[in-house]
Amino acid sequence: MNFWVGVLEEIKVDCQTIIRVQQQHYPWWREVTEFILFERLVRYPAQHDATSNFDAATGVLLFSWLKRRGHGISICDSSGKAIMDFEKCLTGLHALVKEIEGLEEIEDDATYKQEVESFVMNELEPGNLNDRYIIPDDYLIHDMNMKVNIPILFF
């Protein structure tokens, strides 16, 4: 699968899962939502190979897309902690799914892949050498995450 197509497909499915559990109020729907958002926005982008990692790219894309469209993903309160407006985030997830589904209506495979890469690269800055993209300077969550000092585990 094309890297960028995979990024969009993966984030679409995660967004649809969040939307579904929220709409149906399944048991622990908030916890499921928080878990998915934590994985995408915090854990995957903290990987050592984040700028070449498929899963990390989904989180950085989600963060950038929500932030740039004003859906409240990266608001900093006076204490310097990252906060999220849950309702704005849900509105943003709905909008992102619709945009991705719009791209999926493109029938020509080559055109589709080109449009997907263009869509993604409107949110992510292209990387250099082995990096597929650059983590944006305004990725507040990532910046805070990288300041956490965790010792390396050796097995």
Residues 61-103 have pLDDT tens digits of 998 888 887 665 555 556 666 677 788 888 899 999 999 999 9
Return the pLDDT at 136: 84
Residue ranges per domain, the chain?
A: 3-146
Per-run averaged pLDDT (10 residues), the chain, 155 residues: 92 96 90 91 85 91 84 59 78 94 96 96 89 84 72 70
Return the pLDDT at 76: 57
Return the pLDDT at 8: 95
List Cβ neighbours of 121 (8 Å cut-off, separation of 6 or more). 4, 133
Return the pLDDT at 68: 81
Query: Which three-class secondary structure string do you get for the chain?
Result: CCHHHHHHHHHHHHHHHHHHHHHHCCCCHHHHHHHHHHHHHHHHHHCCCHHHCHHHHHHHHHHHHHHHCCCCCCEECCCCCEECCHHHHHHHHHHHHHHHHHHHCCCCHHHHHHHHHHHHHHHCEECCCCCCEECCCCCHHHHHHHCCCCCCCCC
